[in-house]
């Protein structure tokens, strides 16, 4: 879902991680000429005061401070006085200091998060027109100056003096032996491991907001798509946000025996026009124009289908969108570049994403993705899909959706059931305790968790905005039309609810708020998928799962991972390309993305689909505004599979979900080991898919 994308803002608060300030031990020596002497002098002084036992901690702390101390922070005497006053030389003082930071940072983060929500309220929620000033508010990041302030008044230096910075390698190896308090201390220090100027943070926030805005208004009015004969395949008022809603409509069209394939081909064509930017600029979010995506002909709309104001340019042409998509992507790259100089141990966004945010090395993620896309299971599953479809695969079948029992219900039927059940966001909110009870949460917990979640009407497709202090509410944003929630909206809302429940538990029930959350976004995705995969059960529709239904679900998961792993490889390659071509123009980037998408397809998918040069892997909107977020979905599916296997073993969702979520933000492999008994990997997914394939084959494959 689009919602869980993080804001590209550097913050010490742990609210926003994307260009995060997380750790790595700076190797840079201080350039201040007096520093070494002062450190040696103070080491003697602290040992004299507290005993020889503090020597190594004192030296490490002072060296950490020295890495960030600038001349404007003071001279030798200031440094020495600072160290003398703020070094916690005994255990009681150290604990008091730790408690102070944990308590205050929680409040600070929590209130800043509330301010941020308020500033984005009008642009995030579907509650009326957006004024120009609302967009300025949306770009405002209240915590942008906090890190600067904390370095200026030396609060950051107190942390660096007393708590150890750690490397990814240390966290991956030594971390298995750490206590919970040690983990919390490591997370505390990580928040102060970079010193990024506030003006850089603000600029990044502004650019990110522009990209968000571009993506969140990129709608296609489907009733205005016409074929060569002038037929309109899609119903009136259907307005689909690219790419999420387009892809989901394409999936839903498998249930339309008559027009399904024609609709799907047309959606594929629209996607290709978006990727190549040959889409006429006039048709984007405009119900005033009819468009034939095959010939690219545009005409004034021959039918009126919405109350929305249609804009009809005086001289209507099919002039293409001028590479805005790629200008936005380049903008995010340039924003990331601005942070690079202040992040010496992770000097690219790519390094920050993998070493710091995900805490799984890029090479290992790459290997996992390749294991999936080149799996010998893929052609076998493809054959099964062909058999079920009764035709050869087409490229859009990368989104084949027929392995789910869901396809037994027509989209109209599902929409009707959902809209009757949830006419308003409030109805969905009121039903949360009931929803959670159905998912196996104990009634007390279901009620307590529900109290912590507010449901708001979203402008976008869905979003889960977590709280960051205990007692504050998490917000579930969902798109509800005038006729009530539709099935697509419900499916997304259930996913977002999974995020919100995880957010609630991992904040309120974790032992240290410094460990609030999960190891990285892939984990919150995985837990959200656990909820989402039960959406039909929540509607009372899915028959009791038998072996075959489970097998179908597993094959559906496999096919989903197979698709998103390719999309992730494209996202990763595109970011490498941008770093290799810092002066690229939007047009050059467009060509590069097309080439990368086709190459990835040709290498891994063409042998399965028997068609070359398909560019669909480049359509994801996340690639444009979400800073290399996509691999989290692929890893998330793998993690989800491991977690689901565990939940199946336990025989219930609620209590297992709780046990996992409250473990907090430790290293991914450590978390997974606690949750399931093994580290993160593809094995669970691939062996489940292999089993599922044999179950289905034994049952005849229908």
Instruction: Name the closest residue to Zn ion (Cβ).
Output: 4
Neighbours of 655 (CB within 10 A): 15
Least distance between Zn ion and beta carbon 110 (Å): 22
Cα 225 to Cα 280: distance, rounded to the nearest angstrom? 12
Cα 311 to Cα 299: distance, rounded to the nearest angstrom? 12
Residue 147 near residue 495, CB atoms below 8 Å: no
Q: How many residues contact Zn ion, by CB under 5 A?
A: 4
Least distance between Zn ion and beta carbon 524 (Å): 7
Residue closer to Zn ion, measured from CB, 1 or 515? 1
Residue closer to Zn ion, measured from CB, 321 or 632? 632
* Bridge partners for 462 per DSSP: 478
Query: Among all chains, which residue has been given the structure tokens 């468009």?
Result: 291
Half-sphere exposure of 577 (CA within 13 A, CB side): 22
Residue closer to Zn ion, measured from CB, 219 or 521? 521
What is the Rg, in whole angstroms, of the alpha carbon atoms belonging to the chain? 26
Residues 6 or more apart whose Cβ sits within 8 Å of residue 107: 469
CA distances from 613 to 244, 494, 566, 587 (A): 22, 36, 14, 19
Question: Does residue 200 interact with Zn ion by CB under 5 A?
Answer: no
Q: Which helix (H) or strand (E) holds 299?
A: strand 297-300
Least distance between Zn ion and beta carbon 506 (Å): 15
Residue closer to Zn ion, measured from CB, 162 or 534? 534
Least distance between Zn ion and beta carbon 224 (Å): 30
Question: Does residue 564 interact with Zn ion by CB under 5 A?
Answer: no
Residue closer to Zn ion, measured from CB, 4 or 67? 4
Least distance between Zn ion and beta carbon 665 (Å): 17
Least distance between Zn ion and beta carbon 464 (Å): 7
Question: Is the bond preceding residue 243 a cis peptide, omega within 30 degrees?
Answer: yes
Question: Does residue 494 interact with Zn ion by CB under 5 A?
Answer: no
Half-sphere exposure of 230 (CA within 13 A, CB side): 4
Residue closer to Zn ion, measured from CB, 3 or 142? 3
Residue closer to Zn ion, measured from CB, 1 or 505? 1
Residue 3 near residue 460, CB atoms below 8 Å: yes
Least distance between Zn ion and beta carbon 566 (Å): 19
Residue 519 near residue 525, CB atoms below 8 Å: no
Least distance between Zn ion and beta carbon 621 (Å): 14
Question: Does residue 634 interact with Zn ion by CB under 5 A?
Answer: no
Q: Hey, which bits of 173-272 come out as E strands? A: 219-221, 239-241
Nearest to 135 by CA among 201, 207, 198, 210: 210
Residue closer to Zn ion, measured from CB, 79 or 629? 629
Q: Stretches 3-11, 79-87, 195-203, 678-686: which one binds Zn ion (CB under 5 A)?
A: 3-11
SS (H, E, C) 429-444: HHCHHHHHHHCCCCHH
Residue closer to Zn ion, measured from CB, 164 or 668? 668
Q: Stretches 60-68, 471-479, 521-529, 658-666: which one binds Zn ion (CB under 5 A)?
A: 521-529
Question: Does residue 528 interact with Zn ion by CB under 5 A?
Answer: yes
Residue closer to Zn ion, measured from CB, 184 or 241? 241
Residue 203 near residue 335, CB atoms below 8 Å: yes
The secondary structure of 51-79 as a DSSP string is -GGGHHHHHHHHHHHHHH--GGG--HHHH
Residue 466 near residue 507, CB atoms below 8 Å: yes
Q: Stretches 43-51, 237-245, 520-528, 561-569: which one binds Zn ion (CB under 5 A)?
A: 520-528
Q: Stretches 38-46, 72-80, 267-275, 523-531: which one binds Zn ion (CB under 5 A)?
A: 523-531
Backbone angles phi, psi at 454, to 5 degrees: -105, 140
Least distance between Zn ion and beta carbon 495 (Å): 5
Q: Stretches 2-10, 64-72, 83-91, 383-391: which one binds Zn ion (CB under 5 A)?
A: 2-10
How far separated are the first and last CA of the chain, in Å rounded?
30
Cα 463 to Cα 454: distance, rounded to the nearest angstrom? 12
Least distance between Zn ion and beta carbon 571 (Å): 16
Query: Among all chains, which residue has been given the structure tokens 């039903």?
Result: 431
Both structure tokens of 450: 């529900």
Residue closer to Zn ion, measured from CB, 4 or 401? 4
Question: Does residue 1 interact with Zn ion by CB under 5 A?
Answer: yes
Both structure tokens of 644: 């689901």
Least distance between Zn ion and beta carbon 660 (Å): 16
Least distance between Zn ion and beta carbon 501 (Å): 12
Binding string to Zn ion for residues 568 to 607, with x set by CB under 5 A, is what?
----------------------------------------
Q: Stretches 92-100, 412-420, 522-530, 551-559: which one binds Zn ion (CB under 5 A)?
A: 522-530
Question: Does residue 4 interact with Zn ion by CB under 5 A?
Answer: yes
Least distance between Zn ion and beta carbon 622 (Å): 11
Residue closer to Zn ion, measured from CB, 30 or 665? 665
* Span 84-123, contacts to Zn ion by CB under 5 A: none
Residue closer to Zn ion, measured from CB, 4 or 106? 4
Residue closer to Zn ion, measured from CB, 4 or 456? 4
Least distance between Zn ion and beta carbon 497 (Å): 10
* DSSP label of 280: B
SS (H, E, C) 457-507: EECCCEEEECCCCCCCCEEEEECCECCECCHHHHHHHHHHHHHHHHHHHHH
Residue 640 near residue 529, CB atoms below 8 Å: yes
Q: Stretches 323-331, 413-421, 439-447, 526-534: which one binds Zn ion (CB under 5 A)?
A: 526-534
The site for Zn ion (CB under 5 A) is made up of 1, 4, 525, 528
């Amino acid at each position: 879902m689009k919602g869980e994308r993080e804001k590209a803002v550097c913050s010490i608060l742990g609210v926003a991680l994307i260009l995060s300030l997380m750790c790595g031990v700076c190797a840079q020596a201080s350039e201040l000429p007096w520093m070494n002497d002062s450190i040696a002098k103070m080491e003697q002084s602290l040992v004299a005061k507290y005993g020889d036992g503090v020597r190594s901690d004192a030296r490490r702390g002072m060296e950490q401070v020295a890495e960030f101390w600038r001349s404007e922070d003071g001279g030798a005497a200031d440094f020495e006085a600072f160290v003398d006053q703020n070094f916690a030389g005994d255990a009681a003082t150290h604990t008091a200091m730790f408690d102070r930071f944990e308590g205050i940072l929680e409040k600070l983060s929590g209130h800043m998060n509330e301010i941020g929500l308020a500033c984005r309220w009008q642009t995030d929620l579907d509650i009326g027109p957006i004024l120009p000033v609302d967009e300025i508010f949306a770009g405002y990041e209240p915590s942008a100056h906090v890190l600067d302030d904390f370095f200026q008044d030396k609060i950051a230096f107190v942390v660096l003096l007393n708590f150890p910075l750690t490397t990814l390698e240390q966290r991956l190896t030594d971390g298995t032996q750490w206590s919970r308090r040690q983990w919390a201390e490591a997370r505390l220090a990580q928040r102060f491991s970079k010193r990024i100027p506030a003006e850089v943070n603000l600029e990044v926030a502004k650019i990110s907001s522009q990209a968000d805005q571009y993506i969140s208004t990129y709608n296609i009015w489907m009733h205005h798509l016409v074929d060569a004969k002038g037929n309109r395949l899609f119903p009136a008022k259907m307005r689909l946000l690219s790419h999420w809603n387009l892809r989901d409509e394409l999936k839903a069209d498998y249930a339309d025996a008559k027009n399904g394939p024609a609709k799907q081909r047309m959606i594929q064509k629209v996607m290709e026009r978006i990727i190549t930017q040959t889409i006429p600029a006039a048709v984007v979010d405009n119900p005033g124009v009819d468009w034939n995506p095959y010939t690219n002909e545009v005409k004034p709309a021959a039918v009126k289908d919405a109350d929305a104001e249609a804009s009809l340019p005086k001289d209507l042409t099919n002039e293409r969108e001028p590479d805005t998509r790629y200008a936005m992507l380049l903008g995010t790259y340039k924003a990331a570049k601005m942070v690079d100089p202040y992040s010496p141990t992770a000097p690219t966004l790519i390094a920050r994403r993998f070493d710091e945010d995900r805490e799984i090395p890029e090479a290992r993620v790459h290997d996992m993705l390749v294991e999936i896309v080149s799996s010998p299971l893929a052609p076998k599953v493809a054959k099964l899909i062909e058999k079920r479809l009764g035709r050869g695969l087409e490229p859009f079948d990368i989104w084949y959706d027929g392995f789910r029992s869901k396809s037994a219900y027509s989209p109209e039927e599902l929409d009707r059931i959902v809209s009757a059940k949830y006419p308003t966001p409030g109805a969905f909110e009121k039903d949360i305790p009931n929803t959670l009870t159905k998912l196996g949460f104990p009634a007390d917990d279901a009620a307590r968790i529900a109290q912590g979640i507010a449901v708001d009407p979203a402008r976008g497709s869905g979003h889960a905005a977590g709280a960051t202090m205990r007692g504050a509410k998490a917000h579930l944003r969902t798109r509800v039309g005038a006729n009530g929630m539709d099935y697509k909206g419900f499916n997304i809302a259930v996913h977002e609810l999974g995020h919100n429940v995880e957010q609630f538990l991992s904040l309120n029930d974790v032992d240290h708020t410094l460990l609030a959350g999960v190891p990285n976004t892939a984990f919150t995705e995985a837990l959200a998928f656990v909820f989402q995969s039960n959406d039909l059960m929540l509607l009372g529709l899915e028959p009791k799962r038998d072996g075959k239904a489970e097998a179908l679900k597993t094959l559906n998961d496999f096919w989903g991972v197979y698709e998103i792993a390719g999309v992730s490889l494209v996202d990763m390659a595109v970011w490498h390309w941008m770093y290799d071509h810092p002066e690229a123009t939007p047009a050059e980037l467009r060509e590069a993305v097309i080439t990368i998408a086709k190459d990835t397809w040709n290498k891994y998918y063409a042998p399965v689909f028997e068609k070359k040069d398909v560019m669909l892997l480049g359509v994801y909107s996340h690639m444009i505004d979400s800073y290399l977020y996509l691999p989290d979905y692929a890893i998330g599916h793998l993690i989800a599979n491991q977690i689901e296997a565990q939940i199946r073993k336990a025989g219930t969702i609620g209590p297992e979900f709780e046990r996992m979520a409250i473990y907090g933000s430790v290293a991914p492999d450590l978390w997974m080991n606690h949750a399931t008994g093994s580290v993160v990997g593809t094995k669970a997914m691939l062996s489940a898919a292999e089993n599922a394939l044999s179950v289905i084959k034994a049952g005849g494959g229908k």
